[in-house]
């Protein structure tokens, strides 16, 4: 099961697409009648999947032109091109969402095409990977376990401003409270600081910490500065090292 969200929160996305203010635009995309060329960029550094998935997208996405690229450097100059770039699909394959390479790639795509929705095609379908992806600002998360025709419709939804995600992330989040919120307070630190310390032990960036704890990134920075003052530390690495003893006895599932 998967979560489909329309671009307008007040509208519900249905298979029929009725009563949606984006219906004319969507029909134009499906029928290929829009005046400006509609383009989807498929970005994949691996030659085999780049060719296979790229060809499949081109044959399945009627009404769209699919540009297949190897890396973000090829996006240079496309911002002013005479075409409407509706979405960028990045195939991360077996690479973890938390990897530095993916973070760098997403930053490069955002810099080249700042107003374009980005979706990830990934081999992982665990809730943590999905939450991390949306914490990085993507508009869609398409697992490779998905049926091909459903994946195509997910891409179409993202192209018209919608959001797509496996429901496993939503069900896990609503049915199982995050362990960090229930962890005991560390002596000498507030409850919120204790939660942030746990996140720092897991190597999470400020943006992901903010998403995990449902707070602003600027607030996370303030808490980290206060923690550093208490520990007389000069950087995040020192904070993680000095507080590692607080978490050594925690079970892996308690740190999810």
State mean pLDDT over 53-75: 92
Neighbours of 37 (CB within 10 A): 14
Q: Which CATH class is domain 2-173?
A: alpha beta
The Cα 3–Cα 9 span in angstroms is 13
Neighbours of 70 (CB within 10 A): 12
- Crossing angle of the two packed helices 191-201 and 217-231, in degrees rounded to 10: 90
- Crossing angle of the two packed helices 206-213 and 217-231, in degrees rounded to 10: 110
pLDDT digits (tens, 9 = 90+) for 19-39: 344 444 445 444 544 566 789
The Cα 54–Cα 32 span in angstroms is 19
The Cα 76–Cα 43 span in angstroms is 13
Tokens for 216, please give them: 């602003």
Which residues, 6 or more positions from 104, have their beta carbon under 8 angstroms from its beta carbon? none
Instruction: Give pLDDT, residue 187.
Output: 78
pLDDT digits (tens, 9 = 90+) for 173-190: 544 444 444 455 677 888
Q: Which DSSP letter does residue 245 get?
A: G
Instruction: Give pLDDT, residue 8.
Output: 42
Q: Helix, strand, or coil here: 142?
A: strand
Report yes or no on whether pTM surpasses 0.85: no
Q: Taking the C-alpha atoms of 118, 124, 129 and 131 in order, what is their torsion angle to the nearest 10 degrees?
A: 60
The Cα 143–Cα 60 span in angstroms is 17
- Crossing angle of the two packed helices 127-135 and 167-175, in degrees rounded to 10: 100
Assess whether pLDDT exceeds 60 at residue 122.
yes
The region of weakest confidence among 23-32, 34-43, 123-132, 215-224 is: 23-32
Instruction: Give pLDDT, residue 166.
Output: 82
Assess whether pLDDT exceeds 50 at residue 13.
no
Assess whether pLDDT exceeds 60 at residue 71.
yes
State the CATH architecture for 179-255.
Answer: Orthogonal Bundle (1.10)
Assess whether pLDDT exceeds 80 at residue 1.
no
The region of weakest confidence among 23-27, 159-163, 166-170, 223-227 is: 23-27
Instruction: Give pLDDT, residue 50.
Output: 95
Q: Where in the chain is the domain with CATH 3.40.50.2300?
A: 2-173
Q: Helix, strand, or coil here: 248?
A: coil
Q: Which DSSP letter does residue 188 get?
A: T
For the chain, give the mean pLDDT.
78
Q: Where in the chain is the domain with CATH 1.10.10.10?
A: 179-255
């Amino acid at each position: 099961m998967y979560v489909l969200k329309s671009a307008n929160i007040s509208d519900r996305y249905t298979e029929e697409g009725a009563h949606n203010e984006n219906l004319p635009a969507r029909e134009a995309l499906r029928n290929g009648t829009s005046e400006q060329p509609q383009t989807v960029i498929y970005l994949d550094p691996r030659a085999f999947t780049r060719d296979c998935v790229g060809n499949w997208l081109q044959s399945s996405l009627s009404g769209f032109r699919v540009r297949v690229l190897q890396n973000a450097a090829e996006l240079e100059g496309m911002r002013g091109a005479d075409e409407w770039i509706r979405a960028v699909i990045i195939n991360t394959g077996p690479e973890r969402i938390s990897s530095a390479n993916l973070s760098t790639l997403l930053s490069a795509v955002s810099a080249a095409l700042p107003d374009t929705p980005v979706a990830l095609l990934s081999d992982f379908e665990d809730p943590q990977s999905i939450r991390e992806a949306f914490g990085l600002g993507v508009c869609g998360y398409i697992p490779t376990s998905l049926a091909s025709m459903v994946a195509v419709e997910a891409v179409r939804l993202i192209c018209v401003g919608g959001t797509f995600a496996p429901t496993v992330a939503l069900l896990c989040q609503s049915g199982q409270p995050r362990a960090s919120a229930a962890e005991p307070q560390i002596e000498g630190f507030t409850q919120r600081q204790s939660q942030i310390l746990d996140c720092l032990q897991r190597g999470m960036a400020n943006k992901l910490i903010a998403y995990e704890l449902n707070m602003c990134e600027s607030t996370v920075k303030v808490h980290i500065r206060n923690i550093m003052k208490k520990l007389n530390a000069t950087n995040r690495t020192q904070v993680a090292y000095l507080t590692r003893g607080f978490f050594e006895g925690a079970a892996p599932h308690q740190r999810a």
